[in-house]
Amino acid sequence: MKILGIIPARYLSSRFPAKLLKTIKGKSILQMVYEQCEKTQSLSKIVVATDHEAIFEHVEGFHGEVLMTHTNHESGTDRCAEALKLCGGSTSFDYVVNIQGDEPLIDPNTIDGLCSVLDNKIEIATACFPIGKLEDLLSPNIVKVVKSERDQALYFSRSPIPHIRDEKVDRWLLNNTFYKHLGIYAYRVDILEKLVKFPVSKLESQERLEQLRWLSNGFKINMVEAPSEGFGIDTEQDFERLKQFLDKK
């Protein structure tokens, strides 16, 4: 099975512009992600898909593979679809894995674990990790997911799901398992080509979560529990926390 790993790398960010080029100990966030991907056993090819010359030149500078894509993509999924075409399309690969460019500590085992379930029948797969803190459970910035007995996603939300009736919120984590969604996706190539053709769904616009568009249109999303939750960089404060964390290692 041939699996294409794509790191969508948009230059602009509303909360932290040009964050992917911020450096720690001589390496950018983006380079750290790329090097973690290189440690995997399952990816046949790794490529950065960007919309900006600065990122393009930066990736070439550390000898990574990079593609220039359009600036008008609204999601990483859209950018992945264009990158797949530039890499030969469905005749060259069986699956595409969309890896976030702002996850510098992504565990290679998370990527390999996700790829291990791909069997040509699975349409979409993504990862989750148990929530351990009440503040994360209640935060709208942490996306939660509930899954079926067959490990398929039932719903994603910024709200705590499921709601535990007749139990105080501060005790929810004591007796129940809640899952945080990790933003890594594997798409079968024919499914990826279909996903980008659907308009924004009502649930997607309400929660601001693109994966709800896929569920709304009947696609199945398999969930894989990751070995670690990673470290996403959304704000400058996140970046400072990462620097402090790495300084202690």
CATH of the domain at 221: 3.90.550.10
At 16 the pLDDT is 86
What CA–CA distance (Å, rounded) separates 103 from 106? Answer: 5
Q: How confident is the model at residue 248 (pLDDT cuts 50, 70, 90)?
A: confident
What CA–CA distance (Å, rounded) separates 119 from 74? Answer: 29
Q: How confident is the model at residue 201 (pLDDT cuts 50, 70, 90)?
A: very high
In terms of residue numbers, what domain contains 96? 3-240
Mean pLDDT, to the nearest integer, of 66-71?
A: 96
Return the sign of the alpha-carbon dihedral for residues 39, 84, 48, 45: positive
245, part of any domain: no
248, part of any domain: no
Residues of the chain with pLDDT > 70, as a percent, come to: 100
Q: Which two tokens stand for residue 129?
A: 């990790």
246, part of any domain: no
What CA–CA distance (Å, rounded) separates 78 from 193? Answer: 9
- Burial profile 56-76: b = 16 or more Cβ within 10 angstroms, e = fewer: bebbeeeebebbbbeeebebb
CB 127 within 8 A of CB 113: yes
Say how many domains are in the chain: 1
At 13 the pLDDT is 79
Mean pLDDT, to the nearest integer, of 83-94?
A: 94
111, part of any domain: yes
Q: How confident is the model at residue 190 (pLDDT cuts 50, 70, 90)?
A: very high
At 15 the pLDDT is 78
At 230 the pLDDT is 86
Number of residues in the chain: 249
What CA–CA distance (Å, rounded) separates 59 from 30? Answer: 8
What CA–CA distance (Å, rounded) separates 77 from 237? Answer: 26
- Residue 169 exposure: Cα atoms within 13 Å on the Cβ side: 10
249, part of any domain: no
Q: Which two tokens stand for residue 125?
A: 């797969």
Q: Is the model's pLDDT at 249 over the cut of 80? A: no
Residue 186 DSSP SS3:
strand
At 53 the pLDDT is 97
Q: How many CB atoms lie within 10 A of CB 51?
A: 18
Q: What is the mean pLDDT of the chain?
A: 95
The amino acid present at 24, given as its one-letter code, is I
At 147 the pLDDT is 98
Q: How confident is the model at residue 208 (pLDDT cuts 50, 70, 90)?
A: very high
